[in-house]
Amino acid sequence: MHALAAARRHGVSALFTLSGGHIFPLYDAAVKGVGEAGGGQPLRLVDVRHEQTAVFAAEATARLTRTPGLAAVTAGPGVTNSVSAVTTAWLNGAPVVVLGGRAADYHWGAGSLQELDHPLLLAPVTKRAWTEHATATLAGSVDEAFRLAMAPHRGPVFLDISLEAIYGQAEAELSAPDPPVAAPPDAGDIGRIATLLRAARRPVLVLGSDVWLGGAEDVARRAAEELRLPVVTNGQARGVLPGGHDLLVTRARSLALRDADLVIVAGAPLDFRLGYGSFGPKDAPAQVVHVADVPGGIAAHGQLAASAAGDLAAFFTGLVAELTDHPASAGRTPTAAAEDWAPQLTEAVRAARALDARLMASDAEPVHPARIYSELLRVLDDDAVVIGDGGDFVSFAGKYIEPGRPGGWLDPGPFGCLGTGLGYAIAARLARPSAQIVLLLGDGAAGFSLMDADTLVRHRLPAVIVCGNNGAWGLEKHPMRALYGYDVLTDLRPGCRYDEVVRALGGAGELVTSPASIAPALRRAFAANAPYLVNVVTDPEIAYPRSTTGV
């Protein structure tokens, strides 16, 4: 099957899927090797328990390895079950190709089993969604899907294949895939941003996921260091400056973004996570610069002092050159940033950490979530992949866990879809065979994907799952109370044995109810070499302190 050969040529090594007759030929081709064009190597087949898990796994593959992810879902419900995950990839700019089965053209309109015109559903959440009707052009279409998915701004692409086309036989020539070339940003735009930066006294640089996905993490870090810019990291850029770096001020981000006079946001949309791009004091708003990988990514809302679009690595290289080579910079530090600005933020970070330390040492029972993270931090390696799927439990993780390297943190991103967890963990184990994989799972979130612990077990993919079990939809319970003075429909079963669910599926796990038992449980979990759920009963009365729920 040349469709899979095309995928192989784009660096794909695994196909995530759930069985359906409409897509059997893909499995047959994967089992028998994908032909000369694909190097004759079989593709690893990973079968899951819900189509959303297949697409979440493909998405996490793309986000961790920066090569495209591939999922195949059967016609009708297979495709509709994948829509939330495709949308997550869409909002995360993750290069994913989803192949769908499709009822036969021959009977189209007569009411075949699972007949649905899928591209109409997928078009709004993909770069392109279309149907392949002919075997002879299938490989070319799959190749095109991968090229599109990988071209900046990256994202998911959907292709469904009619029954005749997928079951047919045809030879096809495939041309070698040329890597997508990202255009450099305009030099004049970089010059304008350099001028703003030269004059700024309280600049802040915000780095987002595209800095990692676009391979700009090293130059971004060097730029921050050479220009002495305080940095706030978001999403997959967390770790571009490792936890503890003197310029990393994420722990003091409210203060940094509130007092800044210039905020440069690179590789992240100016969405709710960044206050829609309004920064600085109320009476003296900060100037805002937005840098994105394509012109369409530049925010159309709000007032921008400047912007640049194009390859993010080229942007940072250009910016440093502009500021350090410029005659005006001779013999001076390249910016006018107030001498005390960065140290002031570093001090705020230190103060925030000192405050954290009290909670993180909490001996309270039921356990305070902060205590779980202090115990986890003691055993976490720099190259660990940490995945968050849940509400408040994951917000606490975002606060306390500062990754040591970029590309090792996976949250669901701005779509905020619960249920990413198991799919992300499956992909993480495949992408990083010898790293620690830790999934932080709310008890509510567990309901969406925990059955896929079965997939971890069947495919021998060890992972540590830490369930923050507060017996509640915490991130709904507390906001509802704040709004209405009471809450309804936010309680789950207290102390529910999610660890026993994983044991029943062939993995392992245990229940933890006291702070002192967390560390030994984590040690057993990392040593288990199996999917292992540490089910920590936490205090339902503890709400993550937030100023907005994003609603």
| Cis previous bond, 156, omega within 30 | no
Residue 134 CA to its chain's centroid (Å): 35
**Total of residues contacting ligand TPP (CB under 6 A):** 19
Q: Which stretch binds ligand TPP (CB under 6 A): 22-30, 195-203, 474-482, 502-510?
A: 474-482
- Footprint of Mg ion on this chain (CB under 5 A)? 442-444, 470, 472, 474
Q: Which is nearer to ligand TPP, 4 or 475 (CB)?
A: 475
Determine contact, residues 222/205, Cβ cutoff 8 Å.
no
Q: How far is the CB of 452 from ligand TPP (least distance, A)?
A: 15
- Report, in angstroms and rounded to the nearest whole number, the Rg of the chain calculated over CA atoms: 24
List the strands of the sheet with 14-17, edge to edge. 44-47, 14-17, 69-73, 96-102, 156-162, 128-132
The most distant pair of C-alpha atoms in the chain lies apart, rounded to whole Å, by 78
Task: By CB under 6 A, tell whether 392 contacts ligand TPP.
Answer: yes
- CA dist 260 and 273 (Å) reads 17
Q: How far is the CB of 418 from ligand TPP (least distance, A)?
A: 4
Segment interacting with ligand TPP, rule: CB under 6 A, options 256-264, 358-366, 385-393, 504-512? 385-393
Position 370 contacts ligand TPP (CB under 6 A): no
Q: Which is nearer to Mg ion, 2 or 371 (CB)?
A: 371
Taking CB under 6 A as the criterion, the residue among 390, 403, 408, 507 binding ligand TPP is: 390
Q: Does 210 bind ligand TPP (CB under 6 A)?
A: no
Structure tokens at 348: 């705020």
Where do the DSSP E strands lie in 282-342?
287-292, 306-309
Number of Cβ atoms within 10 Å of the Cβ of 264: 28
Is 86 among the residues that bind ligand TPP (CB under 6 A)? no
Pick the binder of ligand TPP from 144, 322, 443, 499 (CB under 6 A): 443
CB of 414 to ligand TPP, least distance (A): 11
What lies within 8 Å, CB to CB, of 303 at 6+ separation is 288
Tell the smallest beta-carbon distance from residue 546 to ligand TPP (Å). 11
465/123 Cα distance (integer angstroms): 34
Q: What CA–CA distances, in Å, run from 86 to 75, 194, 212, 220? A: 15, 37, 20, 29
Closest CB to ligand TPP among residues 25, 474? 474
Q: Kindly state whether residue 311 participates in binding ligand TPP, applying the rule CB under 6 A.
A: no
From candidates 444, 462, 507, 509, binder to ligand TPP by CB under 6 A: 444
CB atoms within 10 A of CB 408: 27
Pairing verdict, β 96-102 and 385-389? unpaired
Q: Which stretch binds ligand TPP (CB under 6 A): 1-9, 33-41, 245-253, 466-474?
A: 466-474
Work out the burial of residue 120: count CB atoms within 10 Å of its CB; fewer than 13 is exposed, 13-18 middle, 19 or more buried. Answer: exposed
Amino acid occupying residue 296 = G
Q: Which does 190 bind (CB under 5 to 8 A by kind): Mg ion, ligand TPP, none?
A: none
Residue 59 interacts, among Mg ion, ligand TPP, none and using kind-specific CB cut-offs from 5 to 8 Å, with none
- Binding partner at 417 among ligand TPP, Mg ion, none, C-beta below 5 to 8 Å by kind: ligand TPP
As measured in angstroms, the least distance from the Cβ of 519 to Mg ion is 22
Q: Is residue 38 a contact partner of residue 8, using CB atoms and an 8 Å limit?
A: yes
Name which of 413, 407, 378 is nearest 394 in CA terms: 413
Does position 391 interact with ligand TPP (CB under 6 A)? The reply is: yes
Among residues 93, 442, 462, 509, the one that binds ligand TPP under rule CB under 6 A? 442
Q: In what order do the strands lie in the sheet with 306-309?
A: 231-233, 203-207, 262-266, 287-292, 306-309
Helix (H) or strand (E) holding 37: none
**Residue with smaller CB distance to Mg ion, 23 or 465:** 465
Nearer to ligand TPP, 295 or 414 (CB): 414
Binding mask 394-433 for ligand TPP (x = CB under 6 A): ----------------------xxxx--------------
**Residue 539 in the binding site for ligand TPP (CB under 6 A):** no
**Contact residues for ligand TPP, defined by CB under 6 A:** 390-393, 416-419, 442-445, 468, 470, 472-476
